[in-house]
Structure 1
Amino acid sequence: MIQLSRAEIEHLVTVDEGTVAAVRDAYVAIVDGRGNVPPVGHIAFPAANGDCHIKYGHIAGDPIFAVKIAAGFYDNPARGLPSSTGIILAISAETGEVRAILNDEGYLTDLRTGIGGAVATLALARADAADVLIVGSGIQARYQSRALAALAGQPLSFRIWGRSGEKTEAIVAELKRDGLDASVAPDLEAACREADIIITTTPSTEPLVRSDWVRPGTHITAMGADGPGKQELETVLVARADVRVADMKTQSLGHGEFSHARSAGLIGSDDCIELGGVLAGTLQGRRSDEDITIADLTGVATQDIAMARTVLERATVKQNSRD
């Protein structure tokens, strides 16, 4: 059995070609029948402003299946602690033996979420979209910006909006050190009105982005509503969108960003498509430059499986090269 720390895992996977391909395929596995993804487990800790997700599943043909425990405690930064952590077990799909314990402390979740958001954004945004607004000043503001910049293939400008001016300034400084064109967005409404792409990354339980702030042609990738009660977009904005894309419809309509519009009777299952179909070319995403498109990414277990498999493959190659 292999046991890997976060530092060891960081040396094995990053925003690289193989990891991006694995995340893309994880989306496609949802729609082509390869993904066996049971319902997500949720534990809420409202007194501590935290929650925990348990995600697990298997991709047909893979030698392993994965079980992931991921926790988010959103007041942790004030204590000098990261807001997210977690661990993944990679288990043999042939014998049930534990093949690896990946003590990634949430790194693989953060990385695949960043890559997954970038993949969705680039699949649905206008080809000429260049002005990116990141809503939130947490860890995903960093991962979304870096992954999108790495995969876009063209210059982008990033504006960061957050409730904490100090945290927002710190993120902008980090992104500038990475060579990105980044600045603080002092006013959320004004920034939304000017953006080509809006990426929401907060654990908010009430809408932050209003419908009348969003102009035709805008793409929105909503990352934060990954559990019951969370919401970043005004419900009428979701209903207004021309194209609604879920990473997995049962999750998005059950507890994701789209669930609020569904509960209000404004949309149904037939009003959404799944991202894997767009990536596979079997479904059409954006149809015109005037479309408002929304990707609701709740995080799917196939991504965690793909990340665990990639880490295990690379760790095995590295170990064999030493022997």
Structure 2
Amino acid sequence: MIVVGREKLASLPLLTLAAPAIRDAYIAVTDGRANLPPVGYLPLSDRNADCHIKYGYIEGDPIFVVKIASGFYDNPAKGLPSSNGMMVAVSSQTGDVMAVLDDKGLLTDLRTGIGGALATMALWRKDARRIGIVGTGTQARIQIRALAALSDRPLRFTVWGRSMERANAVLADLEDLDLSIAATTDLETLCRQSDAIVTTTPSKEPLIRSDWIAPGAHITAMGADAPGKQELDIALVARADRLVADLAEQCLDHGEFSAAARAGLIQEERCVALGATFSGAAEGRRSDRDITIADLTGIATQDIAIARTVLDELGLLGRPQGTTA
């Protein structure tokens, strides 16, 4: 069995390499090519942790993928990463395991970052330059790296953290990039001054109030991917002019949109599929004064897309079983 470790995977330029496949992964959900069974979710409440099991198939692909992804949110205080996991790529022709991608959560982090960047760039105003990043964890860093790698314009980032120490740590980790970037603990000012905001926290209570968000702003909400998580005031979700979801049934069940849906403030018909905006089947932003929100809960086609990209880049697609990477 071929096992590809995190170090090898980290050496690949996946933020740019996998972006076209990730974009198509969203479209596959809307054009009938995707087979997405329900997500497995295991809460570990006494550990402040959870585990997701996602699996799926895109019609015509040489592989399908089963992924285990865990989040242990107290780990950073112990000097450990909060995310971990692995992906198993299986031949869709024979059922043979083609490779185990022992990424320890890296591929999930990267495909999430790419998806967030693609959604933000699809929905922000044409003149958007000021990007607010809410959170100081792994995904905050990757969202910045993905936007910097994929954007067609110079951007100015501001990172919000509950402490300046945490916010400045993000800046220190991104010193290898030529960025305009600042840190703050003032979330209200960040929201009022940002053209686009990306939220990346595991918060269980709303952080961002509706009256902080001006017409024309875009928000990509990444943090609420399990029951009980919430980053946005439900009044803000209800007020938005355009609600975009990676998968509406997930977003309304346990994503950022779920609290507003439970309160009866929004219905499924208000949710536009992100893939449909990419393919042109549906409109995204319709005016410069629209408030747009993208709720991304993560879908298995993203995992398929990044795993396929890795195997193709390493020359493993079609390689006889029993050989090594």
CA drift of 1:165 comes to 2.4
Partner of 2:18: 19
CA spacing shift, 1:70–1:317, aligned 2, 3 Å: closer
Taking the aligned partners of 1:218 and 1:175, their CA distance within structure 2 comes to 25
Contact 1:206 1:230 in 2 (8 A): yes
Taking the aligned partners of 1:102 and 1:318, their CA distance within structure 2 comes to 13
Partner of 2:300: 301
Partner of 2:193: 194
CA spacing shift, 1:270–1:23, aligned 2, 3 Å: same
Contact 2:164 2:184 in 1 (8 A): no
3-state DSSP of counterpart to 1:15: helix
Taking the aligned partners of 1:64 and 1:271, their CA distance within structure 2 comes to 34
Residues 203-222 of structure 1: per-residue CA shift (max 9 Å, x gap): 00100011010000000000
3-state DSSP of counterpart to 1:99: strand
CA drift of 1:190 comes to 1.1
Residues 66-95 of structure 1: per-residue CA shift (max 9 Å, x gap): 000000011101111100011000011122
Deviates more, 1:104-113 or 1:159-168: 159-168
Partner of 1:316: 315
Q: Give the TM-score normalised by the residue count of structure 2.
A: 0.96
Partner of 1:180: 179
CA spacing shift, 1:95–1:218, aligned 2, 3 Å: same
Partner of 1:251: 250
Structure 2: gaps (5+ residues)? none
CA drift of 1:43 comes to 0.7
> In the alignment, is residue 9 of structure 1 matched against residue 9 of structure 2?
yes
Taking the aligned partners of 1:105 and 1:225, their CA distance within structure 2 comes to 21
CA drift of 1:164 comes to 3.3
Partner of 1:70: 69
Partner of 2:49: 50
Taking the aligned partners of 1:34 and 1:250, their CA distance within structure 2 comes to 17
Taking the aligned partners of 2:265 and 2:33, their CA distance within structure 1 comes to 31
Residues 154-198 of structure 1: per-residue CA shift (max 9 Å, x gap): 111000001132221111123344111110122101111111111
Residues 129-155 of structure 1: per-residue CA shift (max 9 Å, x gap): 011100000001110011111111111
Residues 69-125 of structure 1: per-residue CA shift (max 9 Å, x gap): 000011101111100011000011122111110000101001111111000000000
Taking the aligned partners of 1:177 and 1:60, their CA distance within structure 2 comes to 39
Residue identity in the other structure for 2:9: I
Partner of 1:123: 122
Residue identity in the other structure for 1:227: A
Partner of 1:215: 214
Taking the aligned partners of 2:123 and 2:175, their CA distance within structure 1 comes to 26
Partner of 2:156: 157
CA drift of 1:234 comes to 0.5
3-state DSSP of counterpart to 1:237: helix
3-state DSSP of counterpart to 2:314: helix
Taking the aligned partners of 1:164 and 1:62, their CA distance within structure 2 comes to 45
Residue identity in the other structure for 1:198: I
Q: Give the TM-score normalised by the residue count of structure 1.
A: 0.96
Residues 1-28 of structure 1: per-residue CA shift (max 9 Å, x gap): 3210001112234212x31101000010
Deviates more, 1:298-307 or 1:311-320: 311-320
Residue identity in the other structure for 2:281: T
- CA-based RMSD: 1.6
Residues 14-64 of structure 1: per-residue CA shift (max 9 Å, x gap): 212x31101000010110000100111111111111111000000000011
CA spacing shift, 1:66–1:318, aligned 2, 3 Å: closer
Contact 2:311 2:317 in 1 (8 A): no
Taking the aligned partners of 2:203 and 2:28, their CA distance within structure 1 comes to 29
Partner of 2:205: 206
Taking the aligned partners of 1:254 and 1:61, their CA distance within structure 2 comes to 29
Residue identity in the other structure for 2:224: A
More helix by share: 1
CA drift of 1:317 comes to 5.9
Taking the aligned partners of 1:311 and 1:163, their CA distance within structure 2 comes to 36
Taking the aligned partners of 2:125 and 2:309, their CA distance within structure 1 comes to 31
| Number of equivalent positions | 321
Taking the aligned partners of 2:241 and 2:104, their CA distance within structure 1 comes to 38
Taking the aligned partners of 1:13 and 1:310, their CA distance within structure 2 comes to 11
